[in-house]
Amino acid sequence: MTELEEAMTYFKNDRYAMETTGITIDEVKTHYAKCSLKIDNRHLNANDYVMGGVFFTLADFTFAVSSNRGSERTVTTNSTITYLGRVKGDTLISESRLIKSGGTMCTYEISVRDNLGNPVALVITSGMYVKTA
């Protein structure tokens, strides 16, 4: 099974991200993930702009995919989002990369852009490694 297939199998039960919002997992490598979201009416606010929570959900899920692999489990301890611009395309693309890993903590940078290449958000997330049974 490929890393992408493993991630898709593990995260298929993340119903909010995968079913409700429609996020797809596009690429997975060690401490890296790329996910995308095709924008439709359910993602828009009253001003017909993409709701800020959509960016955050996509970034948070991409962090989860990049940091929860194999037997490694990570929970978010802190996230900071900076909104950089308005979406001009019809798809959001999020990439999560490990910045620093220590004994019990890690930090990732998650960039969100639209399919036209416009940066729309930047998220820095810290996580704590947890033991699984």
Q: What is the pLDDT of residue 103?
A: 86
Cα dihedral across residues 42, 117, 52, 81: positive or negative:
positive
- List phi, psi (to 5°) of 74: -135, 140
Nearest residue to 110 via CA among 74, 59, 57: 59
Residues across the chain: 133
Percent of the chain with pLDDT over 90: 88
Q: At what angle do helices 3-11 and 52-67 cross, to 10 degrees?
A: 120
Helices then strands, each counted (H, E), the chain: 3, 6
pLDDT digits (tens, 9 = 90+) for 40-58: 999 999 999 999 999 999 9
Q: Where are the domains of the chain?
A: 3-130
CATH class of 3-130: alpha beta
Those residues whose C-beta lies under 8 Å from the C-beta of residue 48, and which sit 6 or more positions away, are: none
Q: What is the pLDDT of residue 133?
A: 62
pLDDT digits (tens, 9 = 90+) for 83-101: 999 999 999 999 999 999 9
- Which two tokens mark 103? 């004994």
pTM given for the model: 0.94
